[in-house]
Amino acid sequence: MEYGICLLMSIPMRAADSHQSEMVSQLLFGETYTVLESTPEWLRIATTDCGYEGWISFKQHSELNEEEFAAYWNQPHYKVSHLFLSVLNTSANFNFPVCLGSQFPVPQDGIFTLAGLQFAVDIPQEKPLIMENGLTEAQGRLGLIAAQYLNTPYLWGGRTPAGIDCSGFVQNVFSCLGIALPRDASQQVMHGQTVDFIQEAQFGDVAFFGDEEGRIVHTGIVCGPQQIIHASGYVQINSLDGTGIFHPTLHRYTHQLRTIKRLLE
């Protein structure tokens, strides 16, 4: 079995082995994958966290052998909860950014090693949680993470603060809380406990929206009474009620509510 790890801020995953092919997702720094198939220039991979499949350029692949892969997952990891973090590649002596949602082994004296390369990082102190309105610690942390994505442009397949889609936004936010979700909204809706009435929705619940055929096509996070934060055009906060999301500029409902799920205890 061949494995790999993302050593760039992000790597595009495509539907087919071509740079012109649709981007279906992105790998973030420190995320690993299994190689399923290869051509001289492309690799078909499955992500370790949720098994999502796509093609990446061979030029962006960093190989891990089976022993390195096992060792990587047998150690504690740090999850980046700031918008961007500067990392120093000490092997080549240059700095580069990693973004919110990335991960790496907990550094020893500020140093960690990936795929035979050594990196240095100065981890900033976590922002203090200011708890309001009776929120739990998990809800408060979720709010801090989600708010950092505000005004991020919508990008199909995106998972970074430079561009993100609706399900990538939800997946990344919950990943930072240690909750693993599938990549697509149609898969995410299978997780969590159903909230029967919108009046019972709490901060941090995940709302799902459907099309006329009943397919789940959109998702977002409840962020207050009758409010939702979601990626549509850009990450923004809109009004939410039993019908769906009401857009203040368009003066109409843009998404039809199908169900709400609770993932936080």
Q: What is the Cα gyration radius of the chain?
A: 19
Model pLDDT, residue 129 = 52
CATH topology of domain 137-262: endopeptidase fold (from Nostoc punctiforme) (3.90.1720)
pLDDT band at 5 (very low <50, low <70, confident <90, very high): very high
Q: How far apart are the first and last CA of the chain?
A: 37
Q: For residues 254 and 214, which has the higher predicted lDDT (pLDDT)? A: 254
Contact 88, 121 (CB under 8 A): yes
Enumerate the domain spans of the chain: 2-121, 137-262
Contact 261, 246 (CB under 8 A): no
Dump pLDDT digits (tens) for 63-105. Answer: 999 999 999 999 999 999 999 999 999 989 999 999 999 999 9
How would CATH label the architecture of 2-121?
A: Roll (2.30)
Cα-to-chain-centroid distance, residue 163:
11
Mean pLDDT across the chain, nearest whole number?
Answer: 94
DSSP characters over 209-251: EE-TTS-EEEEEEEEETTEEEEEESEEEEEEE-SSEEEETTTT
Query: In the 8-state DSSP scheme, what is residue 153?
Result: B
> Is pTM, for the whole model, over 0.85?
yes
Model pLDDT, residue 136 = 82
Ramachandran assignment for 233, one of left (phi > 0), alpha (psi -120 to 50 degrees), beta (any other): left
Model pLDDT, residue 132 = 55
